[in-house]
Amino acid sequence: MANRMGYLSCLDTVKPVRDAIEVINGKWKLPIIISVMTGNERFTDIQESIPGITPKVLAKELKDLEQHQLIKRVVIEDYPVRILYKPEPYADTLTPIIEALKGWGLNHRRRIFSKA
């Protein structure tokens, strides 16, 4: 028997959107990328620029982002050793997503307050 297949296929959009979500999932990845792209380079600075993030979460997310080649961890052999996080060029490709989310978030907040 053939499939029912009564539904409309939306896989052309759903699949790539899911691929993107897999990379930038969670509460923290985009905030971290934004912070690093803004110019924060050191662990403590990144941490302090993002309210509420704990060092454990930050360390884990930084590793994830490095694996996806969105940031790189640079070790400066000095006394003492310094560690810097820099955005990779690939991180720039996320700018349209970040801008779209920022615009939507600003509008959403206005919408919520105008109701209340």
Q: Is 27 in the site for a copy of itself (CB under 8 A)?
A: yes
What's phi and psi for 39, nearest 5 deg? 125, 0
Residue 53 binding DNA, by CB under 7 A: yes
Q: Residues 84, 41: contact at Cβ < 8 Å?
A: yes
Does residue 51 interact with a copy of itself by CB under 8 A? yes
- Interface region with a copy of itself, contact rule CB under 8 A, candidates 25-33, 58-66, 71-79, 80-88: 25-33
Q: How many residues bind a copy of itself (CB under 8 A)?
A: 49
How far is Cα 88 from Cα 109, in angstroms, rounded to an integer?
31
Residues that bind a copy of itself (CB under 8 A): 4, 6-11, 13-21, 23, 25, 27, 30-31, 34-35, 38-40, 44-46, 48-51, 93-94, 96-109
Residues that bind DNA (CB under 7 A): 4, 6, 25-28, 42-45, 52-57, 59, 61-62, 73, 79-80, 82-84
